[in-house]
Structure 1
Amino acid sequence: MVQPAAQPDALPSGPTPAEATAPTRRRRWFLLPLVVGGIVVAGVLLWRLRQPPAADIVPLSGRLEGYPTKVDVKVAGQIDVLLAREGDQVEVGQVLARLDEAELQAQVAGARARLQGAQEQEQQARSQLTVIASQIRAANLAQTQAEGDSQGGLAQAQAQLATAEAQMAQAQAQLQESRGQLRLAAADRDRLTSLYQAGAISGQQYDQVTTRLATAQEIVHSREATLQAMEQQVSAAAGALTQAQSRMLTPAIRGTQVDTLQQQLMVANAQLAQAQAEVASARATLEETEARLGNLTVTSPITGIVLTRSAEPGTVVNPGSTLFTLLDPDQVFLRGFIPQAQLAQVRVGQPARVYLDAAPDTPLDATVRAIDTQASFTPENIYFQDDRVRQVFGVELAITDPAGYAKPGMSADAAIVLETREP
């Protein structure tokens, strides 16, 4: 019988693969909780480093809001064109809409015509005022001249009458003297006639007496004529005096003319004032209409984004109608609520941090801008202490720099810093 060949000595047997991997798995399962715990601890520490101590903050949650700006029309009219839609970015001063200007253009033309007519009336009133003022100056000069002429003429007429009366009195005296000489000459002739007839005197002596009588008669006749002429001169001088006295009324008549012109001047001044008021009214109407014409172009008051467009071309709008609602993305705030118990710790102006859900690792600096004066979510009547505990107050945090990604409507958390955390 054949014996099997002898086998060489086998190598020492070692652990199988399954037996070799078992301790390794056990060690891995043992290290996994340590790794996870380390990650959690590191995350908590990192979060704590980024946050103020819990005792130094007042946490709150809310949503971001903006300050909407309404773009209204100032005049009534029909929309001609709208140049922006929802979501458009607009700049301050950018034209957003235009209203139809046909009606206002007609009103502007009418206002200009009215202004021109009022200015022409004002010019006419000024011209009339100038004419009346010139007439008053002429009337004043005429009155002054009339006063001088009347006074001088009266004095002259009185002097002429006095002279004529003196000359007449002299002529009367001379006539009386001549008549006396005539009577004497006649008496001499009568006495010498009988002597001449008796031959007591010569013919020469009688002729001399006769000649003296004839001469005396001629002198009487001459002086009677002179007296008659003097009487006529006195009558003429009296008439001139009467005329001079009547001319004394001329200054009063001139004064009446001046008074009449003064009244006309007052009326002209009133007409000028009325014309000037009409010019001012017409100019104001024109400026108002031109301003309304300028208001037909609607521009953006801010740089921002169009949230809503409330009208379409062809719509007839009234003053105050809203065409657009704009939002400035750089003016964003967080609206949130804090419990009544923490209200005493919060003041306007305190610093805060806002954490956006979209960027929780990038806090935004903010400031407490406003705190509601009345509680929210409060029952109408409070009967129990628990009701007072549930009261909250609204708080607004103004974000200093939205950084371009803080948008209205986004949810966010925040922490109001009560005191500065030491580094």
Structure 2
Amino acid sequence: MTFGLAGAAFWFWSPQVGELAGRYSWWSTLRSVPALSWLPGPRAAAEGLVLQGNVEVRQVNLGFKVGGRIASLAVDEGATVREGQSLASLEKVYFEDAVAQARAQRDQARANLDKAQNGNRPEEIAQAQASVAEREATLANARLASDRAEQLLRSGAGTTKAHDDALAALRQADAQLNSARQYLALMRAGARAEDIAAARAQLANSEAALAVAQRQLADAELVAPTDGTVLSRVRETGAIVNAGETVFVLSLTNPVWVRSYVSQVDLGRVRPGQMATIRIDTPGAPTFKGWVGFISTTAEFTPKTVETRELRTALVYRIRVVAEDPRGVLRQGMPVTITLASTSTEPMVAGASE
């Protein structure tokens, strides 16, 4: 009986059991419970601290910035896409018409500004001068007719009505001459500064409207914002969608982030930039290199995935490990084993921020 208890104790405290316990995050959490603090912590093997974690699920809903009818969908579920790749497009005829209309209004505003800045043509000024000369001749004839009517009225050969008609014609000719002279002065002076400023503002407004129309035409094409994998295709060709309505759900594959939790006891053994080795449960699968990109500054309770109420009350710190996965082996949500290097090394890249 004594031999059996001793053997059991030896087996319980053997390195193999310590290694097995280190593969489960609940073992580290169990030690943080005050009544159970005597239990062994995560495996402190020669290669460093061993933690358990999961590849973070990172996805984004993609939709058009403008509304319309879907004309085509270029990818299906499961497709791997690259940044800038076209995923879908809307019917563009309305957007193209809006661009053409805005461009015509811009050209008209530019012509008005050019006319205001350049002034009137010499031919227009010459025409105004000819009009002044014509009005001067008309005024001279009206003055002669008025004088003649006045003389006839004095001699008794004329009538009062004829004299009044001649005076009215004289006044009309004089007014027409003044109007022609003012028009000639305006033609020579050109547009006012206020008119030029208004024409310039109208041109700027039309150019902005053209830019908006062109941007909406470009937004009728949905492109991938980054590399990833299409998780789901929510809409089909011919569907009418509103601006911002989800068309695709994209899984972000770069960079790959692994989430894990460190107990208060082991927090001092983790530092930003610390190198890490990541393993998955698949037999014969390769290992992945990585580095600690983020360490939470705030303690939190153990995630709800831990089944016992006692373990959920333990405080841990969340860390994020940036993994190198050029072949896309790591899948979102996949459980992994993380081995942190026992000595500090320089980070390969700048650490990811929260």
Q: Aligned residues: percent identity? A: 28
CA distance in 1, matches of 2:97, 2:69: 15
1:166-315 superposed matches below 5 A:
261=185, 265=189, 267-315=191-239
Structure 2 residue corresponding to 1:114, chosen from 90, 105, 123: 105
Normalised to the residue count of structure 1, the TM-score between the two structures is: 0.50
Structure 1 residue corresponding to 2:259, chosen from 335, 356, 379: 335
Q: Can you give the 5+ residue segments of structure 2 that lack an aligned partner in the other structure?
A: 1-13, 21-42, 130-180, 304-309, 346-354
CA distance in 2, matches of 1:116, 1:388: 69
Specify the code of the residue in structure 1 equivalent to 2:335: S
Which protein has the larger Cα radius of gyration, Structure 1 or Structure 2?
Answer: 1
CA drift at 1:398: 0.9
CA distance in 2, matches of 1:56, 1:363: 14
Structure 2 residue corresponding to 1:79, chosen from 70, 84, 88: 70
CA drift at 1:64: 1.2
Instruction: Name the SS of the counterpart of 2:104 in structure 1.
Output: helix
- Cross-structure match for 2:92: 101
Relative to 1, partners in 2 of residues 1:420 and 1:343: Cα closer, same or farther, differing over 3 Å?
A: closer
Specify the code of the residue in structure 2 equivalent to 1:75: V
Deviation track 1:195-247 (CA, whole Å, cap 9, x = no partner) reads: xxxxxxxxxxxxxxxxxxxxxxxxxxxxxxxxxxxxxxxxxxxxxxxxxxxxx
- Cross-structure match for 1:350: 274
1:39-188 superposed matches below 5 A:
54=45, 57-65=48-56, 67-129=58-120
Instruction: Name the SS of the counterpart of 2:292 in structure 1.
Output: strand
Specify the code of the residue in structure 2 equivalent to 1:80: A
Relative to 1, partners in 2 of residues 1:390 and 1:402: Cα closer, same or farther, differing over 3 Å?
A: farther
Specify the code of the residue in structure 2 equivalent to 1:113: A
Normalised to the residue count of structure 2, the TM-score between the two structures is: 0.59
CA distance in 2, matches of 1:354, 1:372: 20
CA distance in 1, matches of 2:110, 2:199: 7
Structure 1 residue corresponding to 2:315, chosen from 391, 401, 414: 391
- Cross-structure match for 1:323: 247
CA distance in 1, matches of 2:239, 2:326: 37
State how many pairs are aligned.
249
CA contact (8 A) 1:352 1:368 kept: yes
Bigger helix fraction: 1
Instruction: Name the SS of the counterpart of 1:85 in structure 2.
Output: coil
RMSD of aligned residue pairs (Cα, Å): 3.9
CA drift at 1:128: 3.4
Relative to 1, partners in 2 of residues 1:123 and 1:389: Cα closer, same or farther, differing over 3 Å?
A: closer
CA drift at 1:66: 5.0
Relative to 1, partners in 2 of residues 1:133 and 1:54: Cα closer, same or farther, differing over 3 Å?
A: farther
Relative to 1, partners in 2 of residues 1:396 and 1:378: Cα closer, same or farther, differing over 3 Å?
A: closer
Relative to 1, partners in 2 of residues 1:378 and 1:91: Cα closer, same or farther, differing over 3 Å?
A: closer
Instruction: Name the SS of the counterpart of 1:341 in structure 2.
Output: coil
Relative to 1, partners in 2 of residues 1:118 and 1:313: Cα closer, same or farther, differing over 3 Å?
A: same
Specify the code of the residue in structure 1 equivalent to 2:45: A
